Amino acid sequence: MKILVTGFDPFGGEKVNPAYEAVKLLPDNIAGAEVIKLEIPTVFTRSVSVVDDAINRYQPDVVLSIGQAGGRSSITVEKVAINLAEARIPDNDGEQPLDQALMQDGETAYFATIPVKAIVNRIREAGIPANMSYTAGTYVCNSIMYNVLYLTHKKYTNVKAGFIHVPFSTEQAASKPDGTASMPVETISKAIYCAVEVIAENTEESIESMGTIM
């Protein structure tokens, strides 16, 4: 099995992005699966092209994308991506779409095709805070999750895909207001390792409620 793990470059004035910093710490093989690591631009348009090219080149069985959600206190495994781009700030190429569809011929939403709940449980078993999330936002993180799932529905039908959001790194939080949630990059990497392990082991999805009342 081959698993392509992507992480974004720094954006929004940050000097680092714990998404790719954590991905870089992963070993090249996890539970018998080859791990391919790829940094992608925090850009609406170019990010999907970079991933599309990588899928063509490496022929992975799974694409797992990692992005930062500053302000969240836990690892959040995304359940769904929506067909909407609405950028509060410009991306790294200056793009700032407002109320736009990501794909005109795409579904309103796509669900992750990796075992989201099983991944959450494995990360928790490792002593790391984790939750399932029902919103990947409307910025480039949601965009890449949606677009990769779109590709797996339209073009790469044998490929599975999903997305994980990670908190600020401890390094980033040092310059943030007191009380800003953060996590060491090493811990974030351990959580991603757990996720890749679950995927590589072909773990079935957990049958349990992780819903919200909000």
Q: Give the residue numbers annotated as catalytic, written as ranges.
A: 78, 141, 165
| Cα–Cα distance, 27 to 200 (Å, whole number) | 13
Q: Pick the closest to residue 51 from 167, 140, 166 (CA basis).
A: 140
Where residue 116 falls (left for φ over 0; alpha for ψ -120 to 50; beta otherwise) is alpha
Asked whether 57 and 153 are in contact (CB, 8 A), the reply is no
